[in-house]
Amino acid sequence: MKNAKAGDFKAASAALHQGLLDTNYDTIQLAKQLFTLIDKQMVYSWADISDLPAAPISLKDSRFPHWSRSVEIDSLTLNSQEITAYLQRFKLADSDQLIWLFSPEFIQQVPALHKHYKPSTFEQAIPQWASQRYVYLPLWQWAILPILIALSYLCARLCSLTFRIISKKLISTRLQEYIPEIRTPLVVILTVVFLKILTSLILSLSGPILTLTQTTHAIAIILIVFWCFTRCFNLYVDNLQEKYISDHSGEKKALDTLDNKAQKNQLTHISVLRRTVIFIAVIITTYVFLVQFNLLDGMSSTLISSFGILSVILGIAAQATLGNIIAGLQIAISKPVRIGDALNYAGTWCYCEDITYTYIILKVWDDRRIIVPLKEFISESFENWTLIDSHLIKPVELYVDFTVDIDQLRQKFQELMTAHKLYDQRFKASVQAISSNENALCVRFLCSAATPIDAWKLQCDMRETMAKYVAQLEDGRYLPRTLVNNNIVKLPKTYN
């Protein structure tokens, strides 16, 4: 390398093993070509080559019996094949001295490699100071790289704009809503593609830099395809959900108005479908990564041998997560709760808003959200008010004096229920004296409505109306009373 940098290519040619070359070949020209490849295309720290005494002589190759060991410098691609440059240590004839020589197989490929990688007219016009390398790349490449990125992005934006204009005329209205979802991924992937084309045309990248850029391009394309798929699929699933939670006029229905059992089953199936498909997409993307970078080669025995250890680690570290996932599968199969179901969970009235991989989202009537891990949710008891259908009966309990006429209360309650718009007449309005204490009689009024929210509203209306009726009946004569020092004292007018 010192001789080549000094321009003494005749001396530099002594480092070439010419065993596979024609004896009439111009070795000085060959040394110039090799120096161009090393200077422009290869990346290697020449200081890493050992100057220690030679290793024992090896006879692995009968054609070159004096070869002892080799050092891989770099590799270049030629006609879809990897050509690796090796320095090999050879023993001089009739001497014990050992020297480094470029391998004869690589020297044989130098002319073809130089023809493929020779500097373009543009590169030859670049000043020497701009060709100095900084972190593996020449200075001029670092300077032009931001320009190439900006130019690639501009070309991608123009292509995206053209696609949007053409799509309005060629793509059906039904598919038009997917265009905004793929617009951003399309711009990103086109930017990556254009950048790859421009860098291959203008920048002469090789070695670790070429491997890094190729790997980056491959990773970017795989991730962008996954990103585009998930955006489009999520939009499709959202539209599917809208179909089941919208009324005939197209208005979105609230969770508390979902009273169709089949409708709730469909929403739950759609939620499971969304997460299952995305999970499969993640697995496929991971598999493509492994195949793309040949990470599966030789992994089978390693995976089998480490499966037991991996199982123990997963069992300890991911116990909670795996438990929640299994609980989610149990919910999906047995369906004790579906999206849109009205629940009484831990004394709180709420609706099931969504079921994810590991937790369930419960929407409380006051718009709060309760996030419960699926394992915890399925292991505790809860009331599902809409498991079979949405009809619900709510009780109203009032404490009255023992002398009250129950039949009179029953008649009034039935009259009020019949006139109320929320009464569904599915269950007969019922009045029963269910308990008593030393001071009062507890009378229960049963309210029946089509949905839990209607039942709650009806319960509140009936409690208010019947309490007012009892308070006004014969000037409050039938309000509960108690004896204090042999005097009758009316209890405060508080009701459950």
Average pLDDT estimate for 27-33 = 82
pLDDT bracket for residue 112 (50, 70, 90) = confident
Just give the CATH number of 392-490.
3.30.70.100
What does the pLDDT read at residue 444?
95
Distance CA 363, CA 342 (A): 9
Strands 369-373 and 359-364: antiparallel
Name the pLDDT band for 101 (thresholds 50, 70, 90): confident
Whether residue 441 has pLDDT greater than 50: yes
Bridge partners of 448? 393
pLDDT tens-digit profile of 206-246? 555 555 667 777 888 888 888 888 888 888 888 887 776 66
CA distance 382 to 457: 22
Task: With cut-offs at 50, 70 and 90, classify the pLDDT of residue 45.
Answer: low
Percentage above 90 pLDDT, the chain: 14
The pTM for the full model equals 0.54
Main-chain dihedrals φ then ψ at residue 213, nearest 5 degrees: -65, -40
Asked if pLDDT for residue 272 goes beyond 80, the answer is: no
Average pLDDT of the residues in 366-377: 89
The tokens describing 36, both together, are 């161009």
Residue 57 confidence (pLDDT) = 42
Contact residues for 160 (Cβ-Cβ < 8 A; gap 6+):
183, 186, 187, 190
pLDDT at 54 over 90: no
C-alpha separations of 132 from 127, 139, 240 in Å:
9, 6, 59
pLDDT score of 400? 92
pLDDT of 484 over the 80 cut: no
Pairwise pLDDT comparison (213 vs 72), residue with the higher score:
72
| Contact between residue 289 and residue 295 where contact means Cβ atoms under 8 Å apart | yes
> Is the torsion defined by CA of 403, 408, 410, 412 positive or negative?
negative
Worst-scoring range by mean pLDDT, 196-205, 225-234, 372-381?
A: 196-205
Q: What is the mean pLDDT of residues 7-22?
A: 75
Residues sharing a CB contact under 8 Å with residue 492, sequence separation 6 or more, in sequence order: none
CB 361 within 8 A of CB 340: no
Range list of β-strands (E), 290-333: none
Cα dihedral 293, 299, 303, 309, rounded to 10, equals -80
**Residue 378, token pair as written in the block:** 């399925």
356-365 CB contacts, 8 Å cutoff, 24+ apart: 356/275, 356/328, 357/275, 357/279, 357/324, 357/325, 357/328, 358/321, 358/324, 358/325, 358/328, 359/324, 360/331, 363/255, 365/256, 365/453
Gap between the terminal Cα atoms of the chain: 96
Section 125-146 average pLDDT: 70
Q: What is the pLDDT of residue 82?
A: 81
Listed by start position, the domains of the chain span 2-118, 141-307, 392-490
- DSSP classification of residue 16: B
* Residue 148 confidence (pLDDT): 84
Calpha distance 186→397 (Å, rounded): 64
Please tell me the predicted confidence (pLDDT) of residue 411.
92
The residue that leads in pLDDT, 473 or 71, is 473
Whole-number pLDDT of residue 62 = 46
Question: Which is more confident, 285 or 323?
Answer: 285
Q: What percent of the chain has pLDDT over 70?
A: 71
What is the pLDDT at residue 53? 38
Cα 219 versus chain centre, distance: 15
Helix (H, G, I), strand (E, B) or coil at 492: coil
* 409 vs 326, residue with greater confidence: 409
- Would you say residue 311 has pLDDT above 90? no
Lowest mean pLDDT among 98-112, 165-179, 308-322, 461-475: 308-322
pLDDT at 279 over 90: no
Q: Over 70: is that where the pLDDT of 166 sits?
A: yes
Q: Tokens in use for 132?
A: 């100095």
Between vectors from CA 29 to CA 23 and to CA 33, what angle results, nearest 5°? 120
Mean pLDDT value of segment 347-362: 86
More confident residue, 303 or 74: 74
What lies within 8 Å, CB to CB, of 102 at 6+ separation is 15, 16, 17, 34, 85, 86, 87, 88
Say if residue 331 is exposed, middle or buried (CB neighbours under 10 Å; 0-12, 13-18, 19+).
buried
User: How confident is the model over 69-84, as a mean pLDDT?
Assistant: 78
- The model's confidence at residue 412, banded by pLDDT at 50, 70 and 90, is very high
DSSP string, 432-468: EEEEE-SS-EEEEEEEEESSHHHHHHHHHHHHHHHHH
- Report pLDDT for 407: 92
Does residue 247 or residue 236 have the better pLDDT?
Answer: 236
Please determine, for residue 61, whether its predicted confidence score (pLDDT) is greater than 50. no
Q: Which of 4, 72, 70 is nearest to 37 (CA)?
A: 4
Helix (H, G, I), strand (E, B) or coil at 202: helix
Contacts of 105 (CB under 8 A, 6+ apart): 20, 86
Q: What is the pLDDT of residue 300?
A: 46
Q: What is the pLDDT of residue 421?
A: 92
Among 45-49, 418-422, 459-463, the range scoring the smallest mean pLDDT is: 45-49
Identity of the amino acid at 375: K
Amino acid at 296: L
Quote the CA–CA distance of 66 and 101 in Å, as a whole number: 12
- Tell the burial category of 98 from Cβ atoms under 10 Å away from its Cβ (0-12, 13-18, 19+): middle
Average pLDDT over residues 388-410: 90
- Report which DSSP code applies to 1: -
The predicted pLDDT at position 304 comes to 47
Task: Say if residue 12's pLDDT is above 60.
Answer: yes
* Model pLDDT, residue 134: 66
CA 296, 302, 308, 312 torsion: positive or negative? negative
